[in-house]
Structure 1
């Protein structure tokens, strides 16, 4: 079972020059091709200073295919940067100002191809459930040289009026999607499905993901491509096993989405405390002939967990998919830098660029290097190995072992546990000579010694 084909539109921005002149110069030179089709450079339909490099739908399911794809994308970005310099300007990422004024923001758009409508439905709903975590992973604040640090989770989505939380899709047939469009038009005044964070595309069987901020480095974009590819592979496995992705409360989803946009990885995510228990209760009630809505409408038992903890659990859960994609720990290092560093603080490429600006280094060159460096990990790998020479290498080795085994951390713990021994020791109560009800062994009797 192979990975899905993917396409990417990388958000870029030209500062200090005419973007139309940059676009014309690059068009005359010709962009590299990928999978037999050329990479396209286009201007944003409403913000002319924003550019988008769009790759064709290509297969990135192996290490070699990703190396070829991102080498071509890095070369194309370097061509745009050279044309911007020759026009008297600079190339940067949206929301990253190299001068002293604010700049517009944009996102990186992803498309995932599916095999059939059932897989398209399952993938849409799976991405919908994880969309708050995707926003927390990819979100970043704007950066203006000489200004205060923006600590918001996602400045782009916070200022946007064109994004809606994804809706649960019971089907992706044209008739059902028409009803979803009618509901969006009635409630939100928007009649286009592609205004949602995750949306199915009718006609070509693809899934659109448009809730990830435009990244300041190519290494982070590569890690996000791998993350989405792993989720697509999980959806494909679910379809093969005959499973579907169940509905998540729209209220909980929108609340978590708002928290991720506002606070990013600092947010506390609200989750359903007992989804499996309620599902088992629903099955029992159906067997008894009770009406299903009596259980479904019950108020959920909720709790909050830190977003970093939820992201860490998601990455560990996707280890089998990462392993089947032949991923390396260096490729997913931008994801690990959010949750695994010893200091406990997430590290992004934008943080490294902020340091360069504070140290008086050449910020334009640092930005160009981050955007064109197609190595797995890029500048983040160099920074982690320099700042955490021991623990950073240990983190990479642990994840390399996990990816080679194809087992999550929990599965490896169960696999390595000796037979007959478990953390809970359920037979402890039977072994106790005169233990109490909780299974503790009896202590010495009054006035006597322990036997």
Structure 2
């Protein structure tokens, strides 16, 4: 099975210049093409100072394809930055102010192509289940030079009135989606599916993901593309095996989503402690003739786990998909920097910009470098190897070994553990023929008599 094709709309912002003039200058020069189609630069429909670089739907399933795609995207961002400087301004990321006043925020929008409606349904529900973790991974606070550090999980989603938690989709047929739209209109006053964090797109069979904050570095955007591609590959495998993604309590999902928006990776995620046990109880209750709604409304057995632990478990679970995508540990380093660093504190590209501002360095140049550096890991890789020369390289080596084997770290531990059936325990080897595995004396042969 191959990876799904993807498209990306990278959020950017122009400060100190007319965005329309920047857009006109870039249009005259012509943006690079990707997969035979040109990258597009557009203004935000409601905030004119925000720009979006949109790539065509392209296949990023190999290391070489990603290198080509992100080199082209980095070159396009550099063209926009050059046009902004020539117009007397500078290019930054949304929510990243190089002056002293707050600036608008935006997100990075992703599209994932699916093969058929069944895969589209499974992918929508799979992304829905992991949407709180995606928000915790990509969320960031606004940065105003000279201001206090914003410690919120996602300032963009916290201030937004255009985002809804995704709904479970039992089907993506037109009739079912019409019912979902009617329910959204009745309960929330919104009748558009694309207002949800994860939504199916009719006609082209794609899935829209719009809950990830606009990143301050191209390396982080590349890691998010890989993460979504791995989840799409997982959904494709589930469809091939005849499995589907079950429903998650909407109340539970919205509670975790609110925690991720508020606290990010510091949040405690509520999870259902016994989903399989409750499913078996449902089956028993159905056999006994009880009504369905009585079983569905039963309160779940819940417990909280740290968001960092949940993200770490998700990355470990997706190692087989990362391996099939030919991913390197440097490419997913921005994800590992959230959960694997020895200090225990997550490290983002925005933190490096904060250090640059504190050290009196040229912040505009640091921002431009982060946005245009298309290397796997980018500036984060340099910072990790400089601050953690031993443990940082060890972390990369451990993940490189896992990606080469195609087994998660948990699966590798289980694989290396001696089997109980192999008779490899020392007491068993010493016992030999003197007795059986329980230590009893050897019995007589068939038809014989024990003396």
TM over 0.5: yes
Q: Aligned pair in 2 of structure 1 residues 117, 21: CA closer, same or farther (>3 Å)?
A: same
Deviation at 1:416, TM superposition (A): 0.3
Deviation at 1:47, TM superposition (A): 0.3
What are the ranges of 5 or more consecutive residues in structure 1 without an aligned counterpart? none
- Deviation sequence 1:288-319 (CA, Å, 0-9, x none): 55444333221100000000000000000000
Q: Distance in 2 between matches of 1:372 and 1:295?
A: 53
Q: Distance in 1 between matches of 2:445 and 2:323?
A: 56
Q: Aligned pair in 2 of structure 1 residues 172, 430: CA closer, same or farther (>3 Å)?
A: farther
What are the ranges of 5 or more consecutive residues in structure 2 without an aligned counterpart? none
Conservation of the 8 A alpha-carbon contact between 2:182 and 2:191: yes
- Deviation sequence 1:102-135 (CA, Å, 0-9, x none): 1000000000000000000000000000000000
Deviation at 1:423, TM superposition (A): 15
Q: Aligned pair in 2 of structure 1 residues 85, 252: CA closer, same or farther (>3 Å)?
A: same
State the partner residue of 2:11.
11
Conservation of the 8 A alpha-carbon contact between 1:356 and 1:362: yes
Q: Look up the SS of the partner of 2:420 in the other structure.
A: coil
Q: Distance in 2 between matches of 1:292 and 1:182?
A: 23
Q: Aligned pair in 2 of structure 1 residues 422, 201: CA closer, same or farther (>3 Å)?
A: farther
Q: Distance in 2 between matches of 1:353 and 1:444?
A: 78
Conservation of the 8 A alpha-carbon contact between 1:194 and 1:208: yes
Q: Aligned pair in 2 of structure 1 residues 141, 437: CA closer, same or farther (>3 Å)?
A: farther
Conservation of the 8 A alpha-carbon contact between 1:7 and 1:54: yes
Deviation at 1:58, TM superposition (A): 0.2
- Deviation sequence 1:18-75 (CA, Å, 0-9, x none): 0000000000000000000000000000000000000000000000000000000000
Deviation at 1:390, TM superposition (A): 0.2
TM-score of the superposed pair, with normalisation by structure 2: 0.93
Q: Distance in 1 between matches of 2:228 and 2:21?
A: 34
Q: Distance in 2 between matches of 1:330 and 1:243?
A: 32
Deviation at 1:449, TM superposition (A): 36
Conservation of the 8 A alpha-carbon contact between 2:423 and 2:429: no
Deviation at 1:278, TM superposition (A): 1.2
State the partner residue of 1:367.
367
Q: Distance in 1 between matches of 2:176 and 2:447?
A: 77
Q: Look up the SS of the partner of 1:351 in the other structure.
A: helix
TM-score of the superposed pair, with normalisation by structure 1: 0.93
Greater shift after overlay, 430-439 or 160-169? 430-439
- Deviation sequence 1:167-208 (CA, Å, 0-9, x none): 000000001001100110110000100000000001110000
- Deviation sequence 1:127-159 (CA, Å, 0-9, x none): 000000000000000000000000000000000
Greater shift after overlay, 274-283 or 326-335? 274-283
Conservation of the 8 A alpha-carbon contact between 1:223 and 1:335: yes
**How is 1:330-369 mapped onto 2 (pairs within 5 angstroms)?**
330-369=330-369
**Number of aligned positions between the proteins:** 451
Q: Aligned pair in 2 of structure 1 residues 446, 4: CA closer, same or farther (>3 Å)?
A: closer
Conservation of the 8 A alpha-carbon contact between 1:11 and 1:53: yes
Q: Distance in 2 between matches of 1:21 and 1:271?
A: 49
Q: Distance in 1 between matches of 2:447 and 2:151?
A: 64
Q: Distance in 2 between matches of 1:17 and 1:426?
A: 75
Q: Aligned pair in 2 of structure 1 residues 273, 23: CA closer, same or farther (>3 Å)?
A: same
Conservation of the 8 A alpha-carbon contact between 1:199 and 1:209: yes
**How is 1:28-427 mapped onto 2 (pairs within 5 angstroms)?**
28-420=28-420
Deviation at 1:286, TM superposition (A): 3.7
Deviation at 1:422, TM superposition (A): 11
Deviation at 1:276, TM superposition (A): 1.2
Q: Distance in 2 between matches of 1:81 and 1:449?
A: 92
Q: Distance in 2 between matches of 1:438 and 1:352?
A: 60
Q: Aligned pair in 2 of structure 1 residues 30, 441: CA closer, same or farther (>3 Å)?
A: farther
Q: Aligned pair in 2 of structure 1 residues 247, 89: CA closer, same or farther (>3 Å)?
A: same
Greater shift after overlay, 77-86 or 418-427? 418-427
RMSD: 5.4
Deviation at 1:419, TM superposition (A): 2.0
